[in-house]
Each structure stands twice: as C-alpha cells, then as structure tokens.
Amino acid sequence: MEDEERLQLGGNPDWMSRLPEKLLDVPLWNLAIPGSHDSMSFCLDVSSPVLRSEPCLLRVTDRLCPCWTRPCVSRWATTQSVLSDQCDLGVRFLDLRIATKPKGGLKLFFAHGIYTVMTVQEALDELATWLDAHPKEIVIISCSHFESLTDEDHARLVEFIIALFGKKLCSSQQDTPTLRSCWSSGHQLVVSYSDQQMVLQHPELWPEIPYWYADSPDPKKVIAYLDDQKHRGRPAGFYVSGLNLTEDAPYVLLHPLQNMRKMTMRALSLLLRWVSEQRPGRQGSGVNVLCCDFVDASQFCSLVIGLNYKLLGTSAQERLLQM
C-alpha cells in the first residue's frame, strides 16, 4: 500500500531506494526512468540573444525587434521547473544543452532558443548537493549540443565534472550498472557526453545516449514515431523516448501570445495514456528513459516509475491503472 500511496501523491525523491529487491540487479537501461526534456529551460535569460544555431528567420527578427522576439521565444522554450524540484519529483535523466554565451567569458551556460541565467557550474553544484542528500539515487545527465564550445571549454567542463563528483561517477568501463552495483561502489551519476573525442579521453564519460525524437507538434505523430522505432528494436544500452512536442520558428512568431505549456497540456492525456501502456525490460519493445516537458504538471514521473512494477508481474502500477 505504501508504494501505491506514493505513486498517487506524486513526490518521488527516493524512489530508486524503495524499489523491490527483485529489481535491484536489473541493468539500469532495462528500468523505466523518468526524464525531463531541456531540463534547464526554467531559467532562460530574456536579455540574451537568440542562438546562432536557430533558424535564420528567428535570428533576423531578433536583430530587428529583440524586445518582442526574446520574450516570445522564452514563452515557447520554457518547459521545466527548478532542477532540484525535478529530482524530488522523480526525474533521473537530465537533458543538459550546454553553450557559451556571447560576452559570457569563460562561464558556460545552458540554452534553448536563448541562453539561461544559471551557469553550468551553478546547476551541477545544485545537483551534487541533491545527490549528497539522496545517497541511493542514481541520476543520468546528458551533456549535448555544445553551442560554440571550444576544445578548451570542453576540457574545463570535463575537469570540473570529474573534480566535483569524483567517486560518485559511474565509469563507462565498469560492468553493467545496476542499482545494487552502484550502491556498493558509491556511484550516483552517469555522464553521457556527446563529444566523442572527450569520451575517448575520459573513461568517466559515457557515449551519447540515443534520443528518439519525432520533431512534431502533433502528439499522434509523436506516438506513431515512437511505436515505429520500438518495432525496429531498442538499443542495447541506455536510450530515451522523447514525448516532447516541437513547434517551428514561423509558428512561434505567428503565435506570440501562445506558449509551449498550452500546447503540451492539450496533448498530455494522450501522451500519458501511451506511457501507461509501456513496459520496461530487455525485450525489443522495452522502454528505458522517457522524457517529457513540464514534468511538474502531471503524474508523469509516478506513472513512469510505476512501469517498473510490471517487471514483477502483478504490480502496484497495474492495480492503479485499473482503478
């Protein structure tokens, strides 16, 4: 009954430590893990320019009318809440899109359309503090995109990650990670890094984790895409199924008073119904990390966590779905 009550309440700060004994030796990539898409988009800086990698139309509009473009982009690009709050909800996969900001000096920031106020160092310090408070929780961070980073920026970032997390880092060279093996070795963090050269130089880093992403504003197309990918067979290790919707630059500019939250909320019931039908595990159709926007706006995290009980047969999650 305790598991059912926690699933219904929605707060899951220590859900990994409370999984049944039979799940402790399951490879982490065979568990269902809640993730957040564009995890740092809660602190976007409306005084910063549009990214150089954004479509030409958006960049030109930004140069002509930044006081209109940037707030508009912020409304569409803000998709999450504070980092530690996400972790308390149960998120264990963080999508970190890293960038150098014009006139930002040596500091690194995050980006989603525009840049963030919070630096990478501040965010990782916050994560390290959270991990100290939850010693049996394992988090996966995906460092990617790397807008305008130099080789020196990469070197400083990786050195900082290794120095900050130290023995908490789960090396890509170790045996298949499970909850029990991570607990016995004190590992709490898997770092996926999308720069292959850095991965080759540092065994602490994992290669880029595949992210299945439909690139569509239509939830039916998102679901059809994910189902098609599943039928082709899942990757052998970690992988992500992205439930996030996507709008293009012309749509954003033509709908300045709308926002991503409204679009997501309209689609959420359909997306969550699809999630409830999934099952983790090593089979070809087994899900692993599931990412969503606005993880604080629904029972998404609890729903994903509950999928793990399907590995036991009769589960708390299955009973909940029948209520």
Catalytic site positions:
37, 112
By C-alpha distance, which of 187, 199, 198, 190 is closest to 29? 190
Q: From CA 141, how far away is CA 95, in angstroms rounded?
A: 6
Strands (E), the chain: 33-36, 93-100, 108-112, 114-119, 139-147, 189-193, 205-206, 211-212, 240-242, 289-292
In terms of residues, how long is the chain?
323
Helix (H) or strand (E) holding 48: none
CA 216, chain centre distance (Å): 18
Backbone φ and ψ of 114, nearest 5°: -130, 180
**Contact criterion met (CB below 8 Å) for 30 and 289:** no
* Residue type for position 222: V
